């Protein structure tokens, strides 16, 4: 499988340009996937440059790049600081993250990420994890389900959705994406079935993979491992991710709490934000890759 078949990298040229790559620098690709961004970074490094990439999905290992300057770490990027330290790296010149789900994961019917296929409710990015969408749907309390749908899917009728799921599973366990869709079909807003289901599946996926907690840990580590003058470039695909990235770049933490200098009273700045507004894909790119339509790229340089 070619890397472009596995995943079409979003905002490829724009993200690489904004990394401001030094030929002999050390860089991190937080989300290796098909390796598209990693290949582009390596093209700009000389023989002394280094690139470390992360991906917890075993399927991504088939795309490994055979280059002595490249190291693929098969783990979740929430451990970026620890695994870089194990490789003798304390600071880096730039970090790139293309968040969300890869084209390959969406297109693999058996993974359960897409509303297009009838498959087992899985949605694990790390196939070794014990928590699946099936387990959440059948074992979470009604209140816990409601909170997941509200917080991670921003679903307005979250109470009704949770109640219907709990009612259905009393009769029969909900095992597949089709069974889930059937159980909650009375909740679909008129003419917005696809949008509603996309939000529902997003909420389950985020909970299965603990995406918000993971991203918070990773972003906070990025603050400490970036060198002064180093660039952080992040592509997000929904408002929850984008808010964390925006907060970090603005305040130096994912909560968005700006610290003030005790003596002078001025706000302490960790980053210089280089994208006052998020950079969006062009219409041409969206036509080529429809999954790019929700992408937002933000760039900051550590002071």
Distance CA 5, CA 285 (A): 16
Most confident stretch, 90-104, 203-217, 247-261: 203-217
On whether the CB atoms of residues 240 and 20 are closer than 8 A, the answer is no
On whether the CB atoms of residues 9 and 76 are closer than 8 A, the answer is no
pLDDT in tens, 290-300: 889 999 999 99
Q: Find, among 281, 273, 272, 249, the residue nearest to 13 by Cα.
A: 281
Query: How far from the centroid of its chain's Cα atoms is residue 169's Cα?
Result: 30
> Please, is 157 exposed, middle or buried when counting C-beta atoms within 10 Å of its C-beta (0-12, 13-18, 19+)?
middle
> Please, is 183 exposed, middle or buried when counting C-beta atoms within 10 Å of its C-beta (0-12, 13-18, 19+)?
buried
pLDDT in tens, 218-277: 999 999 999 999 999 999 999 999 999 999 999 999 999 988 766 666 678 999 999 999
Tokens of 168: 């259905």
pLDDT in tens, 245-259: 999 999 999 999 988
The SS3 assignment for 95 reads strand
Q: Indicate the pLDDT class of residue 1, thresholds 50, 70 and 90.
A: very low
The SS3 assignment for 96 reads strand
Q: Indicate the pLDDT class of residue 104, thresholds 50, 70 and 90.
A: low
Distance CA 275, CA 20 (A): 14
Tokens of 202: 């997003």
What pTM was estimated for this model as a whole? Answer: 0.91
Distance CA 207, CA 213 (A): 10
Distance CA 166, CA 137 (A): 8
Helices 211-225, 193-208: crossing angle, 10 deg rounding:
60
Query: Residue 2 pLDDT more than 90?
Result: no
On whether the CB atoms of residues 39 and 65 are closer than 8 A, the answer is yes
The SS3 assignment for 68 reads coil
Q: Is beta strand 226-236 parallel, antiparallel or unpaired with respect to 92-98?
A: parallel
DSSP-assigned letters across all residues of 100-155: S--HHHHH-GGG---TTS--BS---SSTT-S--HHHHHHHS-HHHHHHHHHHHH--
Domains of the chain, earliest start first: 3-103+211-302 (3.40.50.150), 130-208 (1.10.150.170)
């Amino acid at each position: 499988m070619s890397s472009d078949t596995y995943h079409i990298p979003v905002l490829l040229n724009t993200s690489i340009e904004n990394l401001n790559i030094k030929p002999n620098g050390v860089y991190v690709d937080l989300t290796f996937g098909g390796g598209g961004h990693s290949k582009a970074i390596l093209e700009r490094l000389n023989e002394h440059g280094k690139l470390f990439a992360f991906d917890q999905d075993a399927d991504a290992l088939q795309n490994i790049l055979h280059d002595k300057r490249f190291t693929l770490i098969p783990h979740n990027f929430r451990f970026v600081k620890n695994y870089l330290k194990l490789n003798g790296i304390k600071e880096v010149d730039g970090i790139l993250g293309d968040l969300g789900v890869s084209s390959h994961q969406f297109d693999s019917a058996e993974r359960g990420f897409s509303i297009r296929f009838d498959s087992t409710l899985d949605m694990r990015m790390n196939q070794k994890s014990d928590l699946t969408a099936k387990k959440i749907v059948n074992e979470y309390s009604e209140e816990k389900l409601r909170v997941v749908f509200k917080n991670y899917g921003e679903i307005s009728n979250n109470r009704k959705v949770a109640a219907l799921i709990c009612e259905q599973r009393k009769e029969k366990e909900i095992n597949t994406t089709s069974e889930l869709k059937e159980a909650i079909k009375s909740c679909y807003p008129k003419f917005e079935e696809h949008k509603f289901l996309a939000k529902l599946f997003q909420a389950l996926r985020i909970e299965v993979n603990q995406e918000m907690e993971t991203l918070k840990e990773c972003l906070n580590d990025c603050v400490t491992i970036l060198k002064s003058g180093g660039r952080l470039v992040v592509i997000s695909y929904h408002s929850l991710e984008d808010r964390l990235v925006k907060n970090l770049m603005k305040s130096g933490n994912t909560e968005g709490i700006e610290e003030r200098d005790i003596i002078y009273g001025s706000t302490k700045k960790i980053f210089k934000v280089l994208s006052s507004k998020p950079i969006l894909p062009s219409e041409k790119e969206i036509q080529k890759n429809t999954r790019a339509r929700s992408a937002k790229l933000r760039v900051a340089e550590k002071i």
